[in-house]
Chains A and B, each alone.
Chain A
Amino acid sequence: MARVELRHLGKSYPGVRALDDVDLAIESGELFTLLGPSGCGKTTLLRTVAGFNHQDSGEVWVAGKRIDDMPAHRRDIGMVFQDYAIFPHLTVGDNVAFGLRNRNRPRQEIAERVARALELVRLGGHSARLPHQLSGGQQQRVGLARAIVIEPQILLMDEPLSNLDAKLRIELRDDIRDLQRSLGITTIYVTHDQEEALVISDRICVMQGGRVHQVGTPWQVYAQPSTLFVASFVGAMNVVADLPIGAGGTLAVGAVPRLVPALAGRDRVTLAIRLEDMTVAGPADAVPPGALALDGAVDKVTFAGREAFYRVRLDEGAQILAHVHRPERQLLEQAGARVRLILPVAHLHMFDPASGRRIAGAP
């Protein structure tokens, strides 16, 4: 249990800025996720905390102690690896005991703690097995037990679920969350899967190109993305890029122009809206106050069981994806039909086209 501070970390590889002034504080007991596409710097950051990389500049502090010149094996950190990294020549029990033996704990204590850790990850009774006798999900549970049994100050998880199939991933994801909560261990979790990040995290840090785009709760990251990149990386988002703004902040798109005071004084804006924040109306339906109306024709209907999606080609040319909740049969036969998309201004996310930063939008 420890607070982690990463102060102005910088790291370059030839031709790549892997970490660009990353400055973060992770609270004690928090599950903090680094989210981003591959190459965004999240793994570099995690490995810097672990001590497998060394930063070019900046400092790593854990529980009030600066650790970045400490070799990895003295850092007292637990780590779970993407490819499990289970020692294939050791039994499950010996794998879990490995860290305790390095710490020269008494034999009796090791046996007890290993047994308890294996119980925690629901692998009690598997102690004598060899790793190749276990499934991928079980191997990763061993990895988890091996990391927590040493009761480290912090726990690092490097895409621990990405080698598992969908069903196991959800199961283990929930187990990790429950275990982390009950142990109260400060955890830094790396993933490129935005849904996994939303489900598991206390807070999420969205990264791209070595830079931090946003740090916030899952709700903040989803509902108030602070950059266009976050908006489009987390969840599905329709983007209408680089529109002109009329006098006093008038948005003159679609059937009805609307005045958006927050846009006053600007000339261009990029709009974004969640699929589920729009409604699909008939072609000549009245436009409710405070909403934009975009007219177009349904290009394609995709049915996915409890929901469906319309791909609408707007008369202006852009393509928009709209979400249809609880689709009914007749709604599935709409291909080619004229529709009017209703976009409540309150649900619009607005970004500066040049910088990609949020100007205004959904509260």
Chain B
Amino acid sequence: MSLRWRPDFWSGVLVGALAVVAVLMVWPLYNIFAASVIDNRSGALTIANFAQILGRPAYQGAVINSLIVGAGGMLGATLLGIPLAVLTTRYVIVGRDLLSTLAVLALVSPPFIGAYAWIMMLGSNGWMRGLFTDAGIELPPIYGMFGILLVFSLKFYPFVFLLTASGLGAISPSVEEAAESLGAGPWRRFFKVTLPLVFPAVSSGALLAFVLSIADFGTPSIVGGKVRLLATTAFDLFTAEMGGNPGLASATSVVLIAISMAVVLLQRWAVRRRDIAGSLIRRPSPKRLRPLAAAAAHCVCYAIVLAGSLPSLVIVFTSFRKTSGPVFHPGFGLDSYSRILGEVPQVIANSFTFATAAVVLIVIVGTLIGYILARRDTVAVGALDSMLLVPYIVPGVVMGLAFVVTFNVPPLQITGTATIIVLMLFIRRLPYAVRSCAAILKQIKSGIEEAAIILGASPGRAFLKVTLPLMLPGVVAGALMSFITAINELSSSLILYVGRTMTMPVRIYLSVLDGQFGTASALSTILLAATGLAVFVVFRISDRKEDAFV
């Protein structure tokens, strides 16, 4: 297209997109940054908040614990994900599709579900702990760092697994055969050739695990016991009963963002000049293992995946147990479901309404922005592209705080409304939709549109008749994925909700804190069912691409 700037429809879209991003992202985050360096009372510039975080042992501890949680979650996810990826892509594993489906389900289910399911299994009264104790084994307490890392490792391993598996699938077997013919044995081959080639994929999975681990709020506050993290500290500082400390909460948020950003930059630096796109003439085909090795490989694969899926199974199982109030009785029943339908039907309706509204916005805006990103190349488009990276590294807690600070006062006073929750879901998930849409468009060669135009179709008609139909499956898949993340969002909703805008994840979180595991399980099961259905549809329309989920 022309490099000359001619105002047209797409220029309008670009201006609108920049405005949306400015109002919903730049402005709120700016307020957080501003609050972090301004004294609460005098309004003067100060570094006192940062000095406190880095100087006071309590806050130092939160920084250190967050780093431990990030690194530990990443390490655990990598240690589970890489072997699973290698075994399932390189060797014949029966039920490979089942394994990756379960991994995807574990990935998309909300993390706080994992946290409280593990409490039901390994908490002080957990049945699994009971089994071990009967067998004479005393397990470490689940509350604390051990529990957090257990949940995160099992929650985030699918990122590493799915990304690494698709990376391994893109390595020509000839490369490994070449290494073999040059005298490299299997281990040497793996560490010297295969692993370096999949390093970019492994490291982006590991990066996701790190960033999501330190951003997660539900898991540490449910299972963390006395372990203080930056995300929970920011939340507590902000919502403390004595008016809170917005300056310190903001500074904590800034530190959290800074850590995420540092890790992202570190990963980018580590994979610089590593974008090795080899030509793939032959696809690798899985080898058959000798019986003993095969049995061991199957045990490892199924153990990892089942451990990851165990929380969801426990939840579903629990939701059908007989209860009265918080007490479980032997036998099964629909008590929990009748309770939630009686007590909180509004919460269920809210979740579906908000998620649907957010998805509609995301699809429309995301498709338009994705189109500009893929087809236009100007400074403004580049700026928009980099701005859309920001939500990837800003934790939900921080974004929630930023929204409260910004939209609590005129001109846009919308706190306490459903609108603010929908807008939050929208801006947090918009970049994912934009990116997937841009990726689809980049696969649709621009020559196709030019062909339509040269045949007499106006640019608008070319988009409607040719581009849009080709994009549609990808857009629908993207919309469903946005729906999954929107309906499972906890941390930002927890900050923004008021009684009548409560959502299912918030209700589940509060029920867990109250010890109402029955209602929590029933609500979680509804969430899991909605999520599972969405995953099923994505699989149907996108010829099952597991890596579409990461």
Contact = CB atoms under 8 A, between A and B. Distances in A.
Contact of A150 (B447, B455, B465): B455
Nearest to B462: A73
Contacts of A103: 456
B150 interface: no
B4 A79 contact: no
A102 interface: yes
Given A50-B454, A79-B454, A88-B470, A73 B459 contact: yes
Contacts of B454: 50-51, 72-73, 75, 77-79, 156
A186 to B, nearest CB: 15
B262 interface: no
Given A73-B457, A102-B456, A150-B455, A53 B470 contact: no
A325 B180 CA distance: 47
B135 interface: no
A54 B1 CA distance: 8
Contact of B451 (A51, A74, A75, A81): A81
Contacts of A78: 454-455
Contacts of A75: 454
A219 interface: no
Contacts of A74: 456
A85 B456 contact: no
Interface string B1-24: 111100000000000000000000
Contact of B447 (A73, A81, A146): A81
Interface in A296-343: none
Given A52-B1, A53-B2, A73-B459, A98 B452 contact: yes
The size bracket of the interface on A is 20 to 34
A89 B456 contact: no
A99 B465 CA distance: 12
Given A77-B454, A102-B456, A87 B448 contact: yes
A83 interface: yes
Interface in B292-318: none
Contacts of A146: 451, 455
Contacts of A147: 455
Contacts of B462: 73
A103 B470 CA distance: 23
Contact of A85 (B1, B447, B457, B461): B447
Interface residues of B, number: 23
A79 B2 contact: no
B457 A102 contact: yes
A110 B457 CA distance: 16
B179 interface: no
B450 A98 contact: no
B26 interface: no
B450 A83 contact: no
B455 A98 contact: yes
Nearest to B457: A102
A78 B462 CA distance: 16
A73 B453 contact: yes
Contacts of A13: 3
A2 B178 CA distance: 58
Contacts of B333: none
A140 B461 CA distance: 24
B534 to A, nearest CB: 25
Interface string B428-463: 000000000000000001011011111111110110
B455 A83 contact: no
B445 A150 contact: no
A102 B461 CA distance: 9
A43 to B, nearest CB: 12
A88 B469 CA distance: 10
Nearest to A53: B2
Residue among A87, A89, A99 with max Cβ neighbours from chain B (10 Å): A87
A150 B2 contact: no
Interface in B149-163: none
Smallest CB-CB A-B distances: 10 pairs: A99-B455, A102-B456, A85-B447, A85-B451, A79-B454, A54-B2, A73-B453, A72-B453, A81-B447, A85-B448
29 contacts: A13-B3, A50-B454, A51-B454, A52-B2, A53-B2, A54-B2, A54-B3, A54-B4, A73-B453, A73-B455, A73-B459, A76-B456, A77-B454, A78-B454, A79-B450, A82-B447, A85-B447, A85-B451, A86-B448, A87-B448, A87-B470, A89-B470, A98-B457, A98-B465, A102-B456, A103-B456, A146-B451, A146-B455, A156-B454
